[in-house]
Amino acid sequence: MGAYCLEIVYEQPSSSSQEGERYAFIDLGLNNLAAVTSNIPEFQPTLVCGKALKSCNQKYNKTLAKLKSELPSLQKTSKRIQGLTLKRNCKVDYYLHTASKYIIDKLLAHQINLLVIGHNQGWKQNLNIGDRNNQSFINIPHSRFIEQLTYKANLVGIEVKKTNESYTSKCSFLDLEFIQKQKTYLGKRIKRGLFRSSSGYF
């Protein structure tokens, strides 16, 4: 199935950065594509739903498996598969553009000057959250989402920093432990959403 993708590149002067320590933070996920909060008291924490993308991927994977099962033994693709993939990619890209614009507009309205995005290099390679969740999570292009957030933020003068989240669930904030790999961690994560510090606080 033939298709053309038109990309228009144009130069736009970047806006000057806002003054003051007004920060926002984004945590990326699956059911919640993004959880957004800030150090500004009047900022209302926001969840950007990711279930639409999850549903889109599940439907795509199911249909793709069916179409592949109908192919002749030596054939790997077909026009129907190519069309299905193109449609899915366009839907995902549109959703990510819409979500990233919504977030940046919200940050701009609160005069945020620094956006911190949690990210782990290779975070999807050894993921183990169940086969179905693994497939859905890996199919969501979080790196593409970060790229869209970054260029949209830069256009309006918001600085973007990516921070490594590899050890955030193991290091103890209550014990002022540095977020890095430790030989022995001061606290312990009991389960999702429950952490115990070295002094016994939860």
User: 19-41 pLDDT, tens per residue?
Assistant: 678 999 999 988 899 999 999 99
- Using the predicted structure, report yes or no on whether residue 156 has a pLDDT greater than 50: yes
For position 5, what pLDDT does the model report? 78
Task: Return the ∠ at Cα 60 (arms to 28 and 127), rounded to 5°.
Answer: 40
Q: Is the pLDDT of residue 90 over 60?
A: yes
β 32-38/46-49 pair status: antiparallel
The residue written with tokens 């366009």 in the block is: 90
Nearest to 146 by CA among 31, 23, 33: 33
**Residues 41-65: tens digit of each pLDDT:** 999 999 999 999 999 999 999 999 9
User: What pLDDT sits at residue 16?
Assistant: 63
202 vs 125 pLDDT, higher one: 202
What CA–CA distance (Å, rounded) separates 9 from 6? 10
Q: Among candidates 118, 130, 136, 119, which has minimal Cα distance to 52?
A: 136
- Cα–Cα separations (whole angstroms), residue 184 to 120, 199, 201: 21, 15, 18
Alpha-carbon gap, residue 156 to 13, rounded angstroms: 9
Domains of the chain plus CATH, in order, are: 23-166 (3.30.420), 172-202 (no CATH)
